[in-house]
């Protein structure tokens, strides 16, 4: 399986979620199953069925996170020296040449992307157009709504 790029912040968030699932959520659901089991007949016990279903979700998420972390290529952008170019993990301030709107995006892995927080996936059309460019360059983005041009205002590695 190929390694998937992930920022150090993204990996840390996954580790925190994994720790929470293993130390808080899993013991809580095991306790709920034991309590529901004590109520008697398991075939007609809705509490038991719900707790078992919740356990399945938790165990599935634990396996998913462990797999993501095992297959992650964790990149610390603060240690890179890309020479001013936009690379994975870089934060770019860009200006839409048509509207004049200025936005800031950090290019992150697919699982970390959150457009409302300014993090876009490395596989998104904007990120693909920006990678390799530097301050002052114009990136042409083939978006579903048509072609857009963005000027790179600044590039940071934070």
Q: How confident is the model at residue 158 (pLDDT cuts 50, 70, 90)?
A: confident
Q: Answer yes or no: are the C-beta atoms of 73 and 6 closer than 8 Å.
A: yes
Q: How confident is the model at residue 47 (pLDDT cuts 50, 70, 90)?
A: confident
Instruction: Identify the pLDDT of residue 1.
Output: 59
Q: How confident is the model at residue 7 (pLDDT cuts 50, 70, 90)?
A: very high
Q: Report which of 9, 4, 38, 5 is spatially closest to residue 158, judged by C-alpha positions.
A: 9
Tokens of 15: 């580790």
Q: Which long-range contacts (C-beta less than 8 Å, at least 24 apart) are formed by 95-100? A: 95/150, 95/151, 95/153, 96/148, 96/149, 96/150, 97/138, 97/148, 97/149, 97/150, 97/151, 98/148, 98/149
Strand 138-143 relative to strand 102-108, pairing: unpaired
In tens, the pLDDT along 64-111 reads 999 999 999 999 988 887 888 999 999 999 999 989 999 999 999 988
Residue 114 pLDDT greater than 90, yes or no: yes
Average pLDDT of the chain to the nearest whole number: 91
Tokens of 151: 């000027």
pTM: 0.80
φ, ψ for residue 95, nearest 5 deg:
-120, 125
């Amino acid at each position: 399986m190929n390694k998937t790029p992930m920022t150090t912040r993204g990996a840390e968030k996954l580790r925190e979620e994994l720790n929470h699932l293993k130390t808080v959520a899993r013991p809580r659901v095991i306790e709920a199953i034991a309590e529901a089991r004590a109520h008697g007949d398991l075939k007609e016990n809705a509490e038991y069925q719900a707790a078992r279903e919740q356990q399945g979700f938790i165990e599935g998420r634990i396996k998913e996170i462990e797999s993501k972390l095992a297959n992650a290529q964790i990149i610390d952008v603060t240690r890179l020296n890309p020479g001013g170019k936009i690379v994975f993990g870089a934060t770019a301030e860009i200006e839409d040449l048509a509207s004049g709107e200025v936005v800031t995006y950090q290019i992150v892995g697919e699982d970390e992307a959150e457009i409302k927080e300014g993090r876009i996936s490395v596989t998104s059309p904007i990120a693909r157009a920006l990678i390799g460019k530097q301050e002052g360059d114009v990136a042409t983005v083939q978006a579903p709504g048509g072609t857009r041009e963005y000027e790179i205002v600044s590039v940071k590695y934070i």
